[in-house]
Structure 1
Amino acid sequence: MGEIVRVYRERLPSLRFIGKRYTNAERANGFGHKWGEWFQNGWFGELEALGEAPGIENGYLGFMRCGEDFENTFEYWIGMFFPADTPVPEGYGHIDLDGGDIGVCWIKGREDDGSLFCMHDACVAELAENGMGNFRIEAGMSCFFERYNCPRFTQQDEQGNVILDYCVLLAERDTPAP
C-alpha cells in the first residue's frame, strides 16, 4: 500500500512540458501500456536530446489535467519539462506553464502492486492539511503530475519500495476553502 512520507512546497520557473497527449478513451487499466510504447519507440531519447531544464528536479513525467467534467476533459500526457522557449519536435505536443509553486508528496510503495498510482485524493488532502490546498487553474484545468525521479523511483529499497513524486500546481497564495 502506498504511504505519503514527505510533503513540501517547491518553486518552478516558467516551463514548457513536451510530450504526447492521451485521453480517457485510451486508458486501459491506466496508462502503463502507453509508457511501454514510449520506451519501445525511444521517445524519451528523442526528448532527452533537446537538453534539460536547469535548476529543477526533473525526470519522466505523467502530466495530468482536467476541468470540472472529468470524464470529457481528462488528459494524461507523458513527457518531460524543458525551458519555456524549447522548440517542439514534430509528433509531440506541449503545454506552457507559468512559473509558480507546486505541492509535492512523496509516495512510498511498491510499483508492482499499483498502490502508488491511486493516491490522488490522499495527496490532495495531505497538501491541504499542510497549507497547500489552493490549486492553480491553467486554461480552465487543474494540473497535477507524477514525477519519476531518478534515483527515488528507479532504485528500490530492501523491501522493494520506491518513491513516486506526486505534484500539484498551486495558486500563488493559499486561501482558506469556503
Structure 2
Amino acid sequence: MARLVKFDVQTLPALKVVGRAVRVRMADEMEDPVPELWARCHGDGTIDELEALDTFDPSPVGWMGDFDAKTSSFVYLCGVLMPADAAVPEGFDVREIGPTSAAVGWVQGEPDELVPVAQELTEQAMSDAGAAADDTAGWALELYNDARYAHPGTQGEVVLDFYIPCLEPAGA
C-alpha cells in the first residue's frame, strides 16, 4: 500500500518545465494518453536529449496544469526541470513555474499504486503541517528521481516525489 515516507516544504526558484505535452480529458480514463507519452519520450530519445542539457534537476518530471473546467481536461507535460534562463531546443513544449514554495511528498509503494494517491497524501501532509495549496499556481508535478524511483527496493517498492505549490503557514 502506498504511503507517505517524507514531507517537507521547499523553495523553488523560477524554473521551466521542458518536454512534450498532451491534453488529458479527466472523464476519459480509458483513453489516458500519459503512458503512451512517456513511452514515446523514452523511446524517441526526448528524455535523454533533455537530461543532457542544462537542467535544474535531471530527473524526468510529469507536470500537470492548464486545467480547463469547460472540457474537464488538463495538460500533462513529460520532461525535465530547467533553469528559467536556460535555452530551450526548438520544438519542445515549455511551462514556467516559480519562484514558489512547494510541498514535496515522497510517496513509497508499488509503481502502479503511486500516481493515483500521491496528490492526496501530499495534500494531507501539507494540511497537517499548517500549509495550504497555492491554487493560483495551477500546477502539480511528479518527479521521478533516479535513485528513488528507477531502482526498486527489496520489496519492489519505489518512491515518487510529488510537488504542489503551497502557501507556508504564518511564522514559517
* TM superposition score normalised by structure 1: 0.83
- Aligned positions of 1:4-19 closer than 5 A: 4-19=4-19
Corresponding residue for residue 136 of structure 2: 137
Tell me if 1:149 matches 2:145: yes
**CA–CA separation in structure 2 for the residues paired with 1:151 and 1:160:** 14
1:165 to 161, 164, 167: 161
Q: Where do residues 7-86 of structure 1 align in structure 2 (5 Å cutoff)?
A: 7-25=7-25, 28-29=31-32, 31-53=34-56, 58-67=58-67, 69=69, 71-86=71-86
For 1:3, the aligned partner's letter is R
Greater strand content: 2
Shift of 1:86: 1.4
- Counterpart of 2:97? 97
Q: Are the structure 2 counterparts of residues 68 and 44 from structure 1 closer, same or farther at C-alpha, using a change threshold of 3 Å? A: closer
How far apart are the structure 1 equivalents of 2:154 and 2:108?
13
2:114 paired with 1:116: yes
Q: Percent of aligned pairs with the same residue?
A: 23
Tell me the C-alpha RMSD between the 2 structures. 2.2
Larger mean Cα displacement after TM superposition, 24-33 or 116-125:
24-33
Give, as a single letter, the amino acid of the residue that structure 2 aligns with 1:123: T
Q: State the partner residue of 1:126.
A: 125
Distance 1:122 1:71, change over 3 A: farther
Q: Per the alignment, in what secondary structure is the counterpart of residue 24 of structure 1?
A: strand
Structure 2 counterpart SS, 1:146:
strand
| Distance in 2 between residues matched to 1:147 and 1:39, nearest whole Å | 15
1:127 partner SS: helix
Cα pair 1:134 1:174 within 8 Å, conserved: no
Q: Note the alpha carbon deviations across 1:91-134, whole angstroms, 9 max, x for none.
A: 211112231211011110011xx210101223222211212213
- Give the total of aligned pairs: 166
Change (3 A) 1:103 1:71: farther
- Find the residue that maps to 2:133 and give its secondary structure: coil
Worse-matched range after superposition: 41-50 or 29-38: 29-38
What's the offset of the Cα at 1:29? 4.0
Q: Is the 8 A contact 2:141 2:163 kept in 1?
A: yes
Q: Which amino acid aligns with 2:98?
A: D
The 2-side partners of 1:90 and 1:11 are apart by 29
Aligned equivalents of 1:109, 1:163: Cα separation in 2: 7
Distance in 2 separating the partners of 1:70 and 1:13: 31
Separation of aligned partners in 2, 1:132 and 1:5: 18
